[in-house]
Chains A and B, each alone.
Chain A
Protein backbone atom coordinates (compact mmCIF):
# COMPACT_ATOMS: atom_id res chain seq x y z
CA UNK A 1 0.00 0.00 0.00
CA UNK A 2 1.45 3.36 -1.08
CA UNK A 3 1.72 6.27 1.31
CA UNK A 4 -0.59 9.14 0.34
CA UNK A 5 2.26 11.33 -0.94
CA UNK A 6 3.61 8.47 -3.11
CA UNK A 7 0.16 7.68 -4.45
CA UNK A 8 -0.39 11.31 -5.43
CA UNK A 9 3.03 11.42 -7.05
CA UNK A 10 2.34 8.20 -8.97
CA UNK A 11 -0.98 9.57 -10.20
CA UNK A 12 0.73 12.80 -11.28
CA UNK A 13 3.26 10.79 -13.28
CA UNK A 14 0.43 8.88 -14.93
CA UNK A 15 -1.25 12.14 -15.93
CA UNK A 16 1.85 14.04 -16.98
CA UNK A 17 4.25 11.41 -18.30
CA UNK A 18 1.85 8.62 -19.16
CA UNK A 19 3.82 6.25 -16.89
CA UNK A 20 0.75 4.76 -15.30
CA UNK A 21 1.87 1.38 -13.93
CA UNK A 22 2.33 2.45 -10.30
CA UNK A 23 -0.90 4.46 -10.26
CA UNK A 24 -3.03 1.79 -11.90
CA UNK A 25 -1.59 -0.85 -9.56
CA UNK A 26 -3.04 1.19 -6.69
CA UNK A 27 -6.49 1.23 -8.28
CA UNK A 28 -9.26 -1.31 -7.89
CA UNK A 29 -9.08 -4.31 -10.21
CA UNK A 30 -12.41 -3.50 -11.79
CA UNK A 31 -11.02 -3.22 -15.32
CA UNK A 32 -11.45 0.55 -15.32
CA UNK A 33 -8.00 1.70 -14.19
CA UNK A 34 -6.50 2.46 -17.60
CA UNK A 35 -9.71 4.05 -18.79
CA UNK A 36 -9.79 6.17 -15.62
CA UNK A 37 -6.27 7.47 -16.17
CA UNK A 38 -7.10 8.28 -19.79
CA UNK A 39 -10.29 10.03 -18.72
CA UNK A 40 -8.50 12.17 -16.13
CA UNK A 41 -5.73 13.01 -18.60
CA UNK A 42 -8.35 14.23 -21.05
CA UNK A 43 -10.34 16.18 -18.46
CA UNK A 44 -7.25 17.89 -17.03
CA UNK A 45 -5.88 18.77 -20.46
CA UNK A 46 -9.25 20.14 -21.58
CA UNK A 47 -9.54 22.22 -18.41
CA UNK A 48 -6.22 23.92 -19.14
CA UNK A 49 -7.06 24.42 -22.81
CA UNK A 50 -10.21 26.16 -21.61
CA UNK A 51 -8.21 28.38 -19.24
CA UNK A 52 -5.90 29.42 -22.09
CA UNK A 53 -8.88 29.98 -24.38
CA UNK A 54 -10.33 32.44 -21.85
CA UNK A 55 -7.00 34.25 -21.45
CA UNK A 56 -6.24 34.33 -25.19
CA UNK A 57 -9.67 34.75 -26.84
CA UNK A 58 -8.31 36.65 -29.85
CA UNK A 59 -5.65 34.05 -30.58
CA UNK A 60 -8.31 31.35 -30.26
CA UNK A 61 -10.55 33.16 -32.73
CA UNK A 62 -7.68 33.89 -35.10
CA UNK A 63 -6.25 30.37 -35.44
CA UNK A 64 -9.50 28.45 -34.84
CA UNK A 65 -10.39 25.96 -32.14
CA UNK A 66 -8.47 23.00 -33.61
CA UNK A 67 -5.11 24.69 -34.05
CA UNK A 68 -5.51 26.56 -30.78
CA UNK A 69 -6.02 23.24 -29.05
CA UNK A 70 -2.82 21.88 -30.64
CA UNK A 71 -0.86 24.94 -29.51
CA UNK A 72 -2.38 24.87 -26.04
CA UNK A 73 -1.62 21.17 -25.54
CA UNK A 74 2.00 21.76 -26.47
CA UNK A 75 2.21 24.64 -24.03
CA UNK A 76 0.51 22.72 -21.22
CA UNK A 77 3.05 19.91 -21.61
CA UNK A 78 5.99 22.28 -21.23
CA UNK A 79 4.52 24.72 -18.71
CA UNK A 80 2.59 23.03 -15.92
CA UNK A 81 0.46 25.15 -13.64
CA UNK A 82 2.16 25.94 -10.34
CA UNK A 83 -0.74 27.64 -8.60
CA UNK A 84 -4.42 27.19 -7.84
CA UNK A 85 -4.82 30.79 -9.00
CA UNK A 86 -5.53 30.35 -12.69
CA UNK A 87 -5.16 34.06 -13.48
CA UNK A 88 -1.44 33.36 -13.43
CA UNK A 89 -1.56 30.49 -15.91
CA UNK A 90 -0.48 31.16 -19.49
CA UNK A 91 2.09 33.86 -18.77
CA UNK A 92 4.76 32.10 -20.82
CA UNK A 93 2.64 31.36 -23.90
CA UNK A 94 4.10 34.24 -25.98
CA UNK A 95 7.68 33.16 -25.20
CA UNK A 96 6.82 29.55 -25.93
CA UNK A 97 5.24 30.46 -29.28
CA UNK A 98 8.44 32.31 -30.13
CA UNK A 99 10.54 29.34 -29.09
CA UNK A 100 8.64 26.95 -31.40
CA UNK A 101 9.03 29.55 -34.17
CA UNK A 102 5.32 30.22 -34.54
CA UNK A 103 4.50 33.03 -37.01
CA UNK A 104 5.44 36.42 -35.51
CA UNK A 105 1.82 37.58 -35.70
CA UNK A 106 0.77 34.82 -33.28
CA UNK A 107 3.60 35.72 -30.90
CA UNK A 108 2.70 39.41 -30.94
CA UNK A 109 -1.02 38.72 -30.60
CA UNK A 110 -0.32 36.53 -27.57
CA UNK A 111 1.92 39.23 -26.02
CA UNK A 112 -0.81 41.81 -26.49
CA UNK A 113 -3.48 39.54 -25.02
CA UNK A 114 -1.38 38.73 -21.95
CA UNK A 115 -0.87 42.48 -21.40
CA UNK A 116 -4.64 42.94 -21.68
CA UNK A 117 -5.17 40.07 -19.21
CA UNK A 118 -2.83 41.69 -16.67
CA UNK A 119 -4.32 45.14 -17.10
CA UNK A 120 -7.89 43.82 -16.78
CA UNK A 121 -7.28 42.59 -13.24
CA UNK A 122 -4.64 45.08 -12.07
CA UNK A 123 -5.19 47.12 -8.92
CA UNK A 124 -7.69 49.94 -9.34
CA UNK A 125 -6.21 53.34 -10.08
CA UNK A 126 -6.95 56.62 -8.40
CA UNK A 127 -7.00 59.60 -10.81
CA UNK A 128 -4.15 62.05 -10.31
CA UNK A 129 -5.73 65.18 -8.79
CA UNK A 130 -5.70 68.21 -11.14
CA UNK A 131 -4.50 70.51 -8.33
CA UNK A 132 -1.44 68.32 -7.82
CA UNK A 133 -0.80 68.41 -11.56
CA UNK A 134 -0.98 72.22 -11.55
CA UNK A 135 1.35 72.38 -8.56
CA UNK A 136 3.90 70.23 -10.39
CA UNK A 137 3.62 72.36 -13.54
CA UNK A 138 5.58 75.12 -11.81
CA UNK A 139 8.32 72.72 -10.65
CA UNK A 140 11.70 72.39 -12.37
CA UNK A 141 10.99 69.88 -15.24
CA UNK A 142 14.56 68.57 -15.06
CA UNK A 143 13.57 67.01 -11.70
CA UNK A 144 9.99 65.93 -12.47
CA UNK A 145 9.26 62.25 -13.10
CA UNK A 146 5.94 60.58 -13.80
CA UNK A 147 4.58 57.39 -12.25
CA UNK A 148 2.03 55.31 -14.10
CA UNK A 149 -0.92 53.27 -12.83
CA UNK A 150 -0.74 49.50 -12.65
CA UNK A 151 -3.58 49.50 -15.18
CA UNK A 152 -1.12 50.55 -17.91
CA UNK A 153 1.29 48.57 -20.06
CA UNK A 154 3.63 49.84 -22.77
CA UNK A 155 4.19 47.25 -25.44
CA UNK A 156 6.67 47.34 -28.33
CA UNK A 157 5.66 45.10 -31.23
CA UNK A 158 7.37 44.18 -34.47
CA UNK A 159 4.02 44.32 -36.30
CA UNK A 160 0.93 46.52 -36.09
CA UNK A 161 -0.78 43.68 -34.24
CA UNK A 162 -3.43 45.98 -32.75
CA UNK A 163 -5.19 46.01 -36.12
CA UNK A 164 -5.70 42.26 -35.93
CA UNK A 165 -6.60 42.43 -32.22
CA UNK A 166 -9.25 45.10 -32.91
CA UNK A 167 -10.75 43.05 -35.72
CA UNK A 168 -10.97 40.02 -33.44
CA UNK A 169 -13.00 41.77 -30.76
CA UNK A 170 -16.59 40.52 -30.36
CA UNK A 171 -17.97 43.95 -31.22
CA UNK A 172 -15.77 44.44 -34.31
CA UNK A 173 -17.36 44.93 -37.69
CA UNK A 174 -17.57 41.64 -39.59
CA UNK A 175 -16.52 43.52 -42.72
CA UNK A 176 -12.98 44.00 -41.43
CA UNK A 177 -10.72 41.55 -43.24
CA UNK A 178 -7.82 39.96 -41.38
CA UNK A 179 -4.94 38.83 -43.53
CA UNK A 180 -2.49 36.12 -42.56
CA UNK A 181 0.42 38.55 -42.58
CA UNK A 182 1.11 42.13 -41.64
CA UNK A 183 3.94 44.37 -42.80
CA UNK A 184 6.92 44.45 -40.47
CA UNK A 185 6.60 47.78 -38.75
CA UNK A 186 7.83 48.78 -35.31
CA UNK A 187 4.71 49.62 -33.37
CA UNK A 188 4.20 50.98 -29.88
CA UNK A 189 1.02 50.21 -27.99
CA UNK A 190 -0.45 51.66 -24.86
CA UNK A 191 -2.68 49.12 -23.12
CA UNK A 192 -4.97 50.78 -20.57
CA UNK A 193 -8.08 50.01 -18.58
CA UNK A 194 -10.85 52.53 -18.34
CA UNK A 195 -14.34 51.93 -16.96
CA UNK A 196 -13.45 48.28 -16.44
CA UNK A 197 -12.74 47.69 -20.14
CA UNK A 198 -9.29 47.32 -21.69
CA UNK A 199 -8.33 49.64 -24.55
CA UNK A 200 -5.35 49.39 -26.88
CA UNK A 201 -4.04 52.73 -28.14
CA UNK A 202 -1.52 52.70 -31.01
CA UNK A 203 1.33 55.20 -30.77
CA UNK A 204 3.91 56.47 -33.20
CA UNK A 205 7.17 54.61 -32.69
CA UNK A 206 9.10 57.60 -31.34
CA UNK A 207 6.14 58.67 -29.23
CA UNK A 208 6.09 55.17 -27.76
CA UNK A 209 9.85 55.24 -27.03
CA UNK A 210 9.48 58.52 -25.18
CA UNK A 211 6.52 57.28 -23.13
CA UNK A 212 8.37 54.10 -22.26
CA UNK A 213 11.36 56.19 -21.15
CA UNK A 214 9.04 58.28 -18.99
CA UNK A 215 7.64 55.12 -17.39
CA UNK A 216 11.23 54.01 -16.75
CA UNK A 217 11.95 57.14 -14.69
CA UNK A 218 13.26 59.65 -17.26
CA UNK A 219 12.53 63.26 -16.31
CA UNK A 220 9.95 65.37 -18.11
CA UNK A 221 12.70 67.77 -19.24
CA UNK A 222 14.76 65.00 -20.84
CA UNK A 223 11.72 63.70 -22.71
CA UNK A 224 10.79 67.19 -23.83
CA UNK A 225 14.33 67.68 -25.14
CA UNK A 226 14.32 64.35 -26.98
CA UNK A 227 10.98 65.25 -28.51
CA UNK A 228 12.32 68.62 -29.66
CA UNK A 229 15.48 67.12 -31.15
CA UNK A 230 13.79 64.23 -32.93
CA UNK A 231 14.20 64.39 -36.70
CA UNK A 232 10.68 63.20 -37.38
CA UNK A 233 9.37 65.62 -34.79
CA UNK A 234 7.23 64.72 -31.81
CA UNK A 235 4.76 67.16 -30.35
CA UNK A 236 5.53 66.97 -26.62
CA UNK A 237 2.30 68.72 -25.67
CA UNK A 238 0.32 66.18 -27.66
CA UNK A 239 2.21 63.36 -26.00
CA UNK A 240 1.33 64.66 -22.54
CA UNK A 241 -2.26 65.23 -23.62
CA UNK A 242 -2.48 61.59 -24.71
CA UNK A 243 -1.29 60.47 -21.28
CA UNK A 244 -3.71 62.76 -19.46
CA UNK A 245 -6.67 61.76 -21.62
CA UNK A 246 -5.88 58.09 -21.12
CA UNK A 247 -5.86 58.76 -17.32
CA UNK A 248 -2.73 56.69 -16.88
CA UNK A 249 -0.78 59.02 -14.61
CA UNK A 250 -0.68 57.86 -10.99
CA UNK A 251 1.60 60.55 -9.68
CA UNK A 252 4.42 62.99 -10.29
CA UNK A 253 7.43 63.46 -8.09
CA UNK A 254 10.66 65.39 -7.86
CA UNK A 255 13.84 63.44 -8.52
CA UNK A 256 16.42 63.85 -5.78
CA UNK A 257 20.02 64.86 -6.40
CA UNK A 258 19.56 66.28 -9.89
Chain B
Protein backbone atom coordinates (compact mmCIF):
# COMPACT_ATOMS: atom_id res chain seq x y z
CA UNK B 1 0.00 0.00 0.00
CA UNK B 2 1.39 3.42 -0.84
CA UNK B 3 0.91 5.82 2.05
CA UNK B 4 0.62 9.34 0.68
CA UNK B 5 0.00 11.20 3.93
CA UNK B 6 2.35 9.90 6.60
CA UNK B 7 2.52 13.39 8.15
CA UNK B 8 0.49 14.32 11.24
CA UNK B 9 -3.15 15.23 10.77
CA UNK B 10 -3.40 18.97 10.07
CA UNK B 11 -5.35 21.30 12.34
CA UNK B 12 -8.30 21.14 9.97
CA UNK B 13 -11.67 19.44 9.92
CA UNK B 14 -12.18 15.76 9.11
CA UNK B 15 -15.17 13.45 9.05
CA UNK B 16 -16.02 10.08 10.53
CA UNK B 17 -15.71 7.24 8.02
CA UNK B 18 -18.78 5.00 8.09
CA UNK B 19 -19.76 2.18 5.73
CA UNK B 20 -22.91 4.09 4.83
CA UNK B 21 -20.73 6.54 2.86
CA UNK B 22 -18.10 4.14 1.44
CA UNK B 23 -19.34 4.27 -2.13
CA UNK B 24 -19.87 8.03 -2.17
CA UNK B 25 -16.34 8.60 -0.86
CA UNK B 26 -14.80 6.24 -3.40
CA UNK B 27 -16.82 7.76 -6.26
CA UNK B 28 -16.06 11.38 -5.41
CA UNK B 29 -13.54 11.89 -2.58
CA UNK B 30 -14.88 14.79 -0.49
CA UNK B 31 -12.83 17.94 0.22
CA UNK B 32 -11.98 17.18 3.85
CA UNK B 33 -8.51 17.08 5.38
CA UNK B 34 -8.69 13.66 7.06
CA UNK B 35 -10.94 10.83 8.21
CA UNK B 36 -11.45 8.87 11.39
CA UNK B 37 -12.76 5.37 11.85
CA UNK B 38 -13.42 2.79 14.53
CA UNK B 39 -10.65 0.18 14.09
CA UNK B 40 -12.97 -2.54 15.42
CA UNK B 41 -14.93 -2.25 12.16
CA UNK B 42 -11.86 -3.65 10.40
CA UNK B 43 -11.09 -6.54 12.75
CA UNK B 44 -12.13 -9.06 10.09
CA UNK B 45 -9.28 -10.94 8.45
CA UNK B 46 -10.08 -9.80 4.92
CA UNK B 47 -12.80 -8.70 2.55
CA UNK B 48 -14.17 -5.45 1.23
CA UNK B 49 -13.90 -3.26 4.37
CA UNK B 50 -10.12 -3.61 4.57
CA UNK B 51 -9.68 -3.02 0.84
CA UNK B 52 -11.86 0.08 1.00
CA UNK B 53 -9.93 1.38 3.99
CA UNK B 54 -6.68 0.91 2.04
CA UNK B 55 -8.04 3.00 -0.81
CA UNK B 56 -9.22 5.72 1.52
CA UNK B 57 -5.94 5.66 3.46
CA UNK B 58 -3.99 6.20 0.25
CA UNK B 59 -5.81 9.51 -0.16
CA UNK B 60 -6.46 10.79 3.37
CA UNK B 61 -4.59 10.88 6.69
CA UNK B 62 -6.38 8.62 9.11
CA UNK B 63 -7.19 8.54 12.80
CA UNK B 64 -8.27 5.43 14.75
CA UNK B 65 -10.91 5.93 17.41
CA UNK B 66 -11.29 2.74 19.44
CA UNK B 67 -14.49 1.73 21.19
CA UNK B 68 -13.73 -1.80 22.41
CA UNK B 69 -10.66 -1.74 24.67
CA UNK B 70 -12.66 -1.13 27.85
CA UNK B 71 -9.86 1.04 29.15
CA UNK B 72 -11.17 1.41 32.71
CA UNK B 73 -12.34 -2.15 33.28
CA UNK B 74 -11.00 -4.07 36.26
CA UNK B 75 -10.86 -7.18 34.07
CA UNK B 76 -7.46 -7.95 32.56
CA UNK B 77 -6.73 -6.14 29.31
CA UNK B 78 -7.97 -8.14 26.34
CA UNK B 79 -4.64 -8.78 24.66
CA UNK B 80 -6.18 -10.47 21.64
CA UNK B 81 -8.13 -7.28 21.00
CA UNK B 82 -5.09 -5.12 21.62
CA UNK B 83 -2.95 -7.11 19.21
CA UNK B 84 -5.58 -6.92 16.50
CA UNK B 85 -5.53 -3.16 17.03
CA UNK B 86 -1.73 -3.12 16.85
CA UNK B 87 -1.84 -5.07 13.59
CA UNK B 88 -4.19 -2.51 12.06
CA UNK B 89 -2.06 0.38 13.32
CA UNK B 90 1.04 -1.16 11.75
CA UNK B 91 -0.82 -1.67 8.48
CA UNK B 92 -2.62 1.66 8.16
CA UNK B 93 -0.33 3.99 10.12
CA UNK B 94 -2.99 6.28 11.57
CA UNK B 95 -1.68 9.62 12.73
CA UNK B 96 -3.75 9.48 15.93
CA UNK B 97 -5.09 6.61 18.05
CA UNK B 98 -7.68 7.26 20.73
CA UNK B 99 -9.90 5.45 23.24
CA UNK B 100 -12.51 6.48 25.77
CA UNK B 101 -11.95 7.28 29.42
CA UNK B 102 -14.55 4.74 30.45
CA UNK B 103 -15.17 1.04 31.04
CA UNK B 104 -17.32 -1.39 29.05
CA UNK B 105 -16.83 -4.83 30.56
CA UNK B 106 -16.55 -6.72 33.81
CA UNK B 107 -16.46 -10.41 34.65
CA UNK B 108 -15.83 -11.20 30.99
CA UNK B 109 -19.12 -9.61 29.95
CA UNK B 110 -19.06 -6.72 27.46
CA UNK B 111 -21.76 -4.04 27.39
CA UNK B 112 -20.98 -2.31 24.09
CA UNK B 113 -21.37 1.04 25.80
CA UNK B 114 -19.09 3.62 27.40
CA UNK B 115 -19.66 3.56 31.16
CA UNK B 116 -18.36 6.23 33.54
CA UNK B 117 -15.62 5.62 36.08
CA UNK B 118 -15.85 7.16 39.53
CA UNK B 119 -13.24 9.92 39.75
CA UNK B 120 -11.29 8.47 42.67
CA UNK B 121 -7.62 7.94 43.45
CA UNK B 122 -8.15 4.20 42.92
CA UNK B 123 -9.65 4.76 39.46
CA UNK B 124 -6.84 7.13 38.57
CA UNK B 125 -4.14 4.63 39.58
CA UNK B 126 -5.98 1.90 37.70
CA UNK B 127 -6.55 3.83 34.47
CA UNK B 128 -2.98 5.14 34.43
CA UNK B 129 -1.56 1.64 34.79
CA UNK B 130 -3.76 0.48 31.90
CA UNK B 131 -2.83 3.43 29.68
CA UNK B 132 0.85 2.74 30.42
CA UNK B 133 0.47 -0.91 29.45
CA UNK B 134 -1.45 -0.13 26.26
CA UNK B 135 0.96 2.61 25.18
CA UNK B 136 3.87 0.22 25.75
CA UNK B 137 2.29 -2.46 23.56
CA UNK B 138 1.15 -0.03 20.87
CA UNK B 139 4.49 1.79 21.05
CA UNK B 140 2.80 5.15 20.70
CA UNK B 141 0.86 7.62 22.83
CA UNK B 142 -2.86 7.17 23.19
CA UNK B 143 -5.43 9.96 23.26
CA UNK B 144 -8.14 9.57 25.88
CA UNK B 145 -11.60 11.01 25.27
CA UNK B 146 -13.95 12.50 27.84
CA UNK B 147 -17.31 10.69 27.65
CA UNK B 148 -20.92 11.59 28.28
CA UNK B 149 -22.36 10.11 31.44
CA UNK B 150 -25.91 9.65 32.57
CA UNK B 151 -25.15 9.10 36.24
CA UNK B 152 -23.01 10.56 38.98
CA UNK B 153 -21.04 8.30 41.32
CA UNK B 154 -21.39 9.47 44.93
CA UNK B 155 -17.72 9.00 45.72
CA UNK B 156 -16.11 10.96 42.91
CA UNK B 157 -14.01 13.55 44.71
CA UNK B 158 -11.69 14.46 41.83
CA UNK B 159 -13.22 16.85 39.28
CA UNK B 160 -13.36 15.24 35.83
CA UNK B 161 -11.01 17.77 34.22
CA UNK B 162 -8.43 17.34 36.97
CA UNK B 163 -8.76 13.55 36.65
CA UNK B 164 -7.90 13.75 32.95
CA UNK B 165 -5.09 16.24 33.56
CA UNK B 166 -3.51 13.93 36.13
CA UNK B 167 -3.80 10.93 33.76
CA UNK B 168 -1.99 13.00 31.12
CA UNK B 169 0.64 14.06 33.64
CA UNK B 170 1.34 10.51 34.81
CA UNK B 171 1.22 8.64 31.49
CA UNK B 172 2.12 11.15 28.80
CA UNK B 173 -1.08 10.34 26.93
CA UNK B 174 -2.95 13.04 25.01
CA UNK B 175 -6.55 14.23 25.14
CA UNK B 176 -9.28 13.91 22.59
CA UNK B 177 -11.63 16.67 23.66
CA UNK B 178 -15.25 15.92 22.80
CA UNK B 179 -17.08 19.21 23.12
CA UNK B 180 -20.51 17.72 22.56
CA UNK B 181 -19.87 15.45 25.55
CA UNK B 182 -18.79 18.43 27.65
CA UNK B 183 -22.00 20.23 26.73
CA UNK B 184 -24.31 17.22 27.27
CA UNK B 185 -22.84 16.56 30.73
CA UNK B 186 -23.06 20.24 31.62
CA UNK B 187 -26.75 20.40 30.75
CA UNK B 188 -27.70 17.05 32.29
CA UNK B 189 -25.93 17.70 35.58
CA UNK B 190 -26.07 21.51 35.77
CA UNK B 191 -22.30 21.88 35.47
CA UNK B 192 -20.20 24.75 34.21
CA UNK B 193 -18.52 23.44 31.04
CA UNK B 194 -15.68 25.92 31.45
CA UNK B 195 -14.67 24.38 34.76
CA UNK B 196 -13.83 21.21 32.85
CA UNK B 197 -12.22 23.05 29.93
CA UNK B 198 -10.08 25.19 32.22
CA UNK B 199 -8.82 22.13 34.10
CA UNK B 200 -7.40 20.19 31.17
CA UNK B 201 -3.90 21.04 29.91
CA UNK B 202 -4.39 22.78 26.52
CA UNK B 203 -1.13 21.45 25.10
CA UNK B 204 -2.33 17.86 25.66
CA UNK B 205 -5.42 18.34 23.46
CA UNK B 206 -4.50 16.82 20.11
CA UNK B 207 -7.95 16.36 18.60
CA UNK B 208 -11.46 17.72 19.05
CA UNK B 209 -14.77 15.96 18.41
CA UNK B 210 -17.98 17.71 17.44
CA UNK B 211 -21.32 15.93 17.19
CA UNK B 212 -25.04 16.27 17.79
CA UNK B 213 -27.31 14.99 20.52
CA UNK B 214 -30.98 14.10 20.95
CA UNK B 215 -33.36 15.10 23.72
CA UNK B 216 -35.22 12.48 25.74
CA UNK B 217 -37.37 14.38 28.18
CA UNK B 218 -35.06 16.56 30.20
CA UNK B 219 -31.99 14.50 29.35
CA UNK B 220 -29.68 15.08 26.43
CA UNK B 221 -28.35 11.85 24.91
CA UNK B 222 -25.13 11.74 22.94
CA UNK B 223 -26.53 10.01 19.86
CA UNK B 224 -24.23 11.42 17.17
CA UNK B 225 -27.35 11.60 15.05
CA UNK B 226 -27.87 15.36 14.56
CA UNK B 227 -25.92 18.36 13.31
CA UNK B 228 -23.67 20.12 15.81
CA UNK B 229 -25.82 22.36 18.00
CA UNK B 230 -25.20 26.14 18.17
CA UNK B 231 -24.22 25.89 21.85
CA UNK B 232 -21.52 23.33 20.95
CA UNK B 233 -20.29 25.53 18.09
CA UNK B 234 -19.99 28.26 20.71
CA UNK B 235 -17.85 26.04 22.95
CA UNK B 236 -15.78 25.15 19.91
CA UNK B 237 -15.01 28.77 19.11
CA UNK B 238 -13.99 29.30 22.72
CA UNK B 239 -11.80 26.16 22.66
CA UNK B 240 -10.02 27.12 19.45
CA UNK B 241 -9.31 30.60 20.79
CA UNK B 242 -7.98 29.29 24.11
CA UNK B 243 -6.39 25.99 23.13
CA UNK B 244 -5.42 26.79 19.56
CA UNK B 245 -6.34 25.18 16.25
CA UNK B 246 -6.63 21.41 16.49
CA UNK B 247 -7.67 18.58 14.13
CA UNK B 248 -11.45 18.55 14.46
CA UNK B 249 -13.78 15.69 13.66
CA UNK B 250 -17.43 15.84 12.66
CA UNK B 251 -18.73 12.64 14.28
CA UNK B 252 -21.98 11.10 13.05
CA UNK B 253 -23.06 7.52 13.84
CA UNK B 254 -26.85 7.26 13.77
CA UNK B 255 -29.59 8.70 11.58
CA UNK B 256 -26.93 8.96 8.87
CA UNK B 257 -27.38 11.91 6.49
CA UNK B 258 -25.94 12.27 2.98
CA UNK B 259 -22.16 12.71 2.92
CA UNK B 260 -22.63 16.33 1.83
CA UNK B 261 -24.10 17.18 5.23
CA UNK B 262 -20.96 15.97 7.01
CA UNK B 263 -18.79 17.89 4.55
CA UNK B 264 -20.84 21.04 5.15
CA UNK B 265 -20.36 20.67 8.92
CA UNK B 266 -16.62 20.16 8.37
CA UNK B 267 -16.53 23.34 6.26
CA UNK B 268 -18.18 25.19 9.13
CA UNK B 269 -15.51 23.89 11.53
CA UNK B 270 -12.77 24.90 9.08
CA UNK B 271 -14.20 28.42 8.93
CA UNK B 272 -13.95 28.70 12.72
CA UNK B 273 -10.45 27.21 12.70
CA UNK B 274 -9.37 29.66 9.99
CA UNK B 275 -11.13 32.64 11.55
CA UNK B 276 -9.62 32.11 14.98
CA UNK B 277 -6.19 31.52 13.46
CA UNK B 278 -6.44 34.76 11.43
CA UNK B 279 -7.56 36.71 14.50
CA UNK B 280 -4.54 35.47 16.42
CA UNK B 281 -2.10 36.75 13.77
Residues of chain A touching chain B, judged by Cβ–Cβ distance below 8 Å, are 1, 3-5, 7-9, 11-12, 15-16, 26-30, 32-33, 36-37, 39-40, 43-44, 47-48, 51, 80-87, 89, 120-125, 150-151, 193, 196-197
Return the 9 tightest CB-CB contacts between A and B, nearest first.
A121-B44, A84-B68, A196-B48, A124-B46, A36-B151, A5-B74, A28-B152, A123-B45, A8-B106
**A48 CB contacts on chain B under 8 angstroms:** 112
CB of B104 within 8 A of chain A?
yes
Measured between alpha carbons, how far is A123 from B45 in the docked complex, in Å?
4
Once the chains bind, are A39 and B219 in contact (CB under 8 Å)?
yes
Measured between alpha carbons, how far is A27 from B149 in the docked complex, in Å?
12
Measured between alpha carbons, how far is A120 from B50 in the docked complex, in Å?
11
CB of B226 within 8 A of chain A?
no
Contact sample, A vs B, 21 pairs, CB 8 Å cutoff = A4-B122, A4-B123, A4-B126, A8-B74, A12-B111, A15-B111, A27-B151, A28-B152, A39-B150, A40-B115, A40-B151, A44-B113, A51-B112, A84-B69, A84-B78, A84-B104, A85-B81, A87-B43, A120-B47, A124-B45, A193-B47
Q: Which single member of B40, B107, B110, B126 contacts A81 (CB below 8 Å)?
A: B110
CB of B108 within 8 A of chain A?
yes
Once the chains bind, are B44 and A87 in contact (CB under 8 Å)?
yes
Given contacts A5-B74, A8-B73, A27-B152, contact A86 B112 (CB under 8 A): yes
A198 — nearest CB in chain B belongs to which residue?
Answer: B47
B66 — nearest CB in chain A belongs to which residue?
Answer: A84
**B73 CB contacts on chain A under 8 angstroms:** 8
Once the chains bind, are B152 and A32 in contact (CB under 8 Å)?
yes
Once the chains bind, are B47 and A26 in contact (CB under 8 Å)?
no
Measured between alpha carbons, how far is A40 from B111 in the docked complex, in Å?
10
Q: Which of B101-123 contact A (CB under 8 A)?
A: 103-113, 115, 117-118, 120, 122-123
CB of B51 within 8 A of chain A?
yes
CB of B155 within 8 A of chain A?
yes
Once the chains bind, are B49 and A84 in contact (CB under 8 Å)?
no
**B107 CB contacts on chain A under 8 angstroms:** 9, 12
Measured between alpha carbons, how far is A106 from B257 in the docked complex, in Å?
32
Within the complex, the shortest CB–CB distance from A23 to chain B, in Å, comes to 9
Within the complex, the shortest CB–CB distance from A32 to chain B, in Å, comes to 7
Given contacts A8-B73, A26-B154, A33-B151, contact A83 B81 (CB under 8 A): yes
Measured between alpha carbons, how far is A150 from B44 in the docked complex, in Å?
12
Given contacts A4-B74, A11-B115, contact A40 B150 (CB under 8 A): yes
